[in-house]
A = this chain, B = another copy of it.
Amino acid sequence: MANIRDLAKEAGVSVSTVSRVLNGYPYVSEEKRKAVWEAVEKLNYTKNIQAVHLAKGRTMIVGVMLPYIHHPYFSAVIEGISKEALRYGYQLLLFQTNYDVERELEALERLRMKQMDGLIVCSHEVGWEIFDAYQEEAPIVLCEQVTEYDFFTVYIDHYQAFAKALHYLVKKGHRRIGYCIGRRTGPNSQAREAAYQDVLRDVGVTPQRQWIFDGCLFLEDGKRVIEQWMAMEERPSALLVTSDQVAAGIVLEARRIGVRIPEELTIIGFDNDPLAEMLGITTVALPHFTLGEKAFRLLHHWLETGNVPRKQEELPTRLVVRATG
């Protein structure tokens, strides 16, 4: 493969002149410029981007750490990141972790190795203190709320979102309120749990353990939920559901087996998925796409300006009332 020196020889100029022409710098005579481009043609030259990265100490690559891709939540976030990355001329390097700590650490090590200029963390398993340490060496933006440490963060306030939906239910007279959750360990789930405990305590209701449905991630899980619900002695009259996908599963299975919604069971989902609109599911709209966009912009700002004013940005949510609640 031809390199910049071959070009210089072919065009009869120096390597720096070649470099100037290739990168569009001024102060190069028209004839030399032309000679260089002709050499490029003749030798079928292409710049080796790895060498550029090494020489410049920058890659214009941003890493994205997420557990799964094939999931409405994460694929929406990454779509937002991708859109903004494209706009600012950055590329995206994917780190799918499956919540495996080893893989998360691998991604962070890659950041230290300067494989990318910065990292966006969509969700994770390892402790904040780890990120805090790596943050000293390279820019990291997190997509989850964190209070104890000082990070660059863009997040949806799941506590408020959950509380909002709960207050709505309480106002409508519900007292036996349950909820479905994905992974209980995640910060989002913790926030939801906290809101649940707080609001129910405030209205003087003692939540029952079996009103909480764990491991609800996909459409299919909704089916299981409604089956469990059917088998219960003291059934909740309303459920806040992880996501609209799961809520859709509940609603469809309920229809199938003749459970009337919302008369017998009120359902509120999260996300504002097109499926929720189609099925008339009341939901809390969450701005996932915007989350990705803002996360990238925050990182971009950090990369371009270089200053490290820790910053948090909170994204608003909105209750969309439809037929199920």
Contacts and interface: CB of A to CB of B under 8 A. Distances in A.
Q: How many identical subunits does the complex contain?
A: 2
A70 B59 contact: no
Interface string A266-288: 00000000110111000000000
Given A69-B82, A82-B94, A94-B92, A49 B113 contact: yes
A: interface residue count bin: 35 or more
A76 interface: yes
B94 A49 contact: no
Given A48-B113, A115-B50, A278-B219, A75 B86 contact: no
A115 to B, nearest CB: 5
A53 interface: yes
A70 B79 CA distance: 6
B94 A94 contact: yes
Nearest to A97: B86
Contact of A220 (B79, B86, B112, B274): B274
A190 interface: no
A279 B275 CA distance: 13
B82 A75 contact: no
A47 B68 CA distance: 28
Q: 7 closest A-B pairs (Cβ-Cβ)?
A: A49-B113, A70-B79, A92-B94, A46-B112, A70-B75, A50-B53, A49-B115
Given A50-B50, A82-B94, A93-B94, 10 more contacts: A47-B113, A50-B59, A70-B79, A91-B93, A91-B110, A94-B94, A219-B274, A219-B275, A252-B279, A275-B275
